[in-house]
Chain A
Amino acid sequence: MSLLKVTGLEVRFPVREGILSRRHREVRAVDGVDLELEPGRTLGLVGESGCGKTTTGRALLRLVEPQAGEVLVDGTDVRKLAPTELRRFRRHMQIIFQDPYSSLDPRRTVGQSVAEGLEIHGLCPKSERSERVAQLFDRVGLSQAQIHRHPHEFSGGQRQRVGIARALAVEPKLLILDEPVSALDVSVQAQVINLLEDLQAEKGLGYLFVAHDMGVVRHVSQTIAVMYLGRIVEKGPTEEICLYPQHPYTKLLIASVPRLGDGKGIVAPARGELPSPLDPPSGCAFHPRCPMAVPACRQVRPELVGIAPGHLVACPVVSGQA
């Protein structure tokens, strides 16, 4: 059984505009997303700002409520849980945010923040709690002396370690990592990535790794899903996606990353900007920027089609159906 199986996930946000907010519109932030993740594995979810990758991660935990779809975590349908059941179930799935500074309570010591989950879920007797927190600090590479400090006394990398310790406290099976290293300097970023990988190997955690950095995602994931305007446009084994991208958007994304060894000079692989999610293009949302678009792309919204084992592409031109 998969650790995570998501089918047809949809999240819509109401947008009010006009005088007295009389016009109501909707943004389809996540528009029919399917994902699957095995224990001990990492699925990378990549895309540019506004593509819906962060909302997808939050919707899995119901931090934003999805309007449709099924989210199975270890066989439990998260969307069917009542509020109290959901709170109890959250110990199995935790999230780590980009900026641990805004996700830690500035008035509590970091030790208290880490212990909070143990307390809420009643996971260890009060007498053993401080010892358990000390173990967690040790495991994420923080010193015992730091347990009683406040978040502002830590550097960005150390705060991210606190965030990891807090998530691990409740012994989850699934971690949603939302841009966990993008606010960190390169040398510290590597430390945090290595720590996350060690913890995964040790505890068999499943990671949904949400990021915009193709290099980071390539390094950490076994499978990559590429998102564009609320939909997954390509999904497959990491090296296949990075070396032989098929969807024109994936190709654009990969070609845009400045890689070491290419030397001086730059040619932008595409013109134009991301369309507004409020007013997405008809048919395939990528067609206005796509060098391969045919007239049908303007009308028909493409579905994901398998083109190799485990490799799916939502482009009829690529899969030979146009």
Chain B
Amino acid sequence: MADSDLLSVRGLSISFRGAQRWLPAVDGLDLDLDRGQTLGLVGESGCGKSVTALSLLGLLPRKSAQVTGSIRLGGQELSQLDDDGWRGVRGRRISMIFQDPMTALNPLMTVGAQIEEVLRLHLGLSGKAARDEAASWLAKVGIPDPADRLRNHPHEMSGGMRQRVLIAMALCSRPEILLADEPTTALDVTIQAQILELLAGLQQELGMAMVFITHDLGVVERVADRIHVMYAGKAVEAGPSRQILSNPSHPYTRGLLGAVPGFRPRTGRLVAIPGRVPPAGEWPQGCRFAPRCEHAQAECTTRLPALEDVLDGTRCACLRRRELPVWTGDAA
């Protein structure tokens, strides 16, 4: 696959210092993101999707995390940057929003002061110019009475409003890429729809690209152009989101789709994937999904499959990808 001109990640591996040895969290991940596009990272807890995002911002602690591989942003290699170098990228060219806006905001500062701080740091604005710009960003993210709201502290706002403030803080420096880590998971479903609509509108207006991390397959279909389905530190399936969600190839993707209840009238039991996601340090030999896979054969427990082309631009990491039954939509 040709390298993308905006963000191109090759062979990204991340491990964390354990009591006795380094524990792998991400293992040889390749990502490409074009301008204005949204890449969805989908997977269950522990698949490595959130640490991947943190590594793209240089936010993993150097002492306890090992990051290898190449991260190229617009032709610049980021993986070798020192702290000063990262400061020029973080919040300026790549920003991030999180699941829980309360812990991402400073409880002691007004939201106005927090947005103005970003504007001062990255755009050199101060005084009235910064205040006006901060108010215009609050208006842009759909907060009524923005001039008054600048004086609020985070605890005076609802969860949905706090997420809007966080979005304003992340985008006011006009970054090229927004990393969104489960930004709507903690919100009620009617508010989630509002935030997703807001993000899509701002993305179009600002022409930014987005990496959207979620465990929710319904959400990822609404926001992403392409998706990577991740399992135990590896992408097991990658390609256009429409294609993957309507005609999944990998048994894990199929299992996830079968396990989500309530998309259509009940037809019977849910298709549960047996067992659980292996924790870091306990990844099995060979294909990491093999112990839970009904299609696994002896070879699967010894050989680790790589992503290979299947159809219509999708790639799948499964040794048996050509022999699996046709996807019917209701069984793995």
Contact = CB atoms under 8 A, between A and B. Distances in A.
Interface of A: 48-49, 155, 157, 185-191, 193-194, 197, 212-220, 239, 242-243, 252-253, 255-271, 273-274
Contacts, number: 141
B264 to A, nearest CB: 9
Nearest to A271: B194
Interface string B183-200: 000001111111011001
Given A253-B190, A271-B194, A186 B260 contact: yes
A214 B270 CA distance: 15
Contact of A260 (B200, B218, B265): B218
Contacts of B270: 190, 193-194, 219
A220 B259 contact: no
A48 B44 contact: no
Given A217-B262, A218-B262, A270-B190, A264 B224 contact: yes
Given A187-B44, A216-B261, A219-B262, A266 B222 contact: yes
Contacts of A264: 221-225, 241-242
A257 B189 contact: yes
Interface stretch (B125-133, B171-179, B272-280, B298-306): B272-280
Given A185-B277, A265-B222, A266-B196, A259 B263 contact: yes
Contacts of A253: 189-190
24 contacts: A49-B188, A185-B277, A186-B217, A187-B277, A188-B44, A188-B276, A190-B261, A190-B272, A212-B188, A213-B262, A219-B262, A219-B270, A239-B265, A242-B265, A243-B265, A253-B189, A258-B216, A258-B222, A260-B257, A264-B223, A264-B225, A268-B193, A268-B197, A269-B190
Given A220-B261, A273-B158, 6 more contacts: A186-B260, A187-B256, A187-B259, A190-B272, A256-B189, A268-B197
Given A49-B188, A212-B188, A258-B219, A190 B271 contact: yes
A191 B274 contact: yes
Nearest to B292: A187
Given A186-B215, A219-B262, A264-B225, A194 B190 contact: no
B113 interface: no
Interface in B208-266: 215-219, 221-225, 241-242, 245-246, 255-263, 265-266
A69 to B, nearest CB: 26
A197 B269 CA distance: 9
Nearest to B277: A185
B221 A262 contact: yes
B81 to A, nearest CB: 33
Using C-beta atoms within 8 Å of the partner chain, give the interface range for chain B: 35 or more
Contacts of B271: 190
Contact of A261 (B193, B246, B269): B246
B169 to A, nearest CB: 20
B309 to A, nearest CB: 23
A190 B273 contact: yes
A16 B214 CA distance: 39
B42 to A, nearest CB: 10
A54 to B, nearest CB: 14
Contacts of A217: 262
Contacts of B76: none
A271 B136 CA distance: 20
A259 B222 CA distance: 9
B91 interface: no
B80 interface: no
Contacts of A262: 221-222
A243 B215 CA distance: 25
A265 B200 contact: yes
Nearest to B274: A191
B160 interface: yes
Contacts of A185: 44-45, 215, 276-277
Nearest to B196: A266
- Tell me which of A255, A266, A271, A274 has the highest count of chain B C-beta atoms within 10 A of its own C-beta: A266
A187 B190 contact: no
A185 B189 CA distance: 18
Contacts of B217: 186, 260
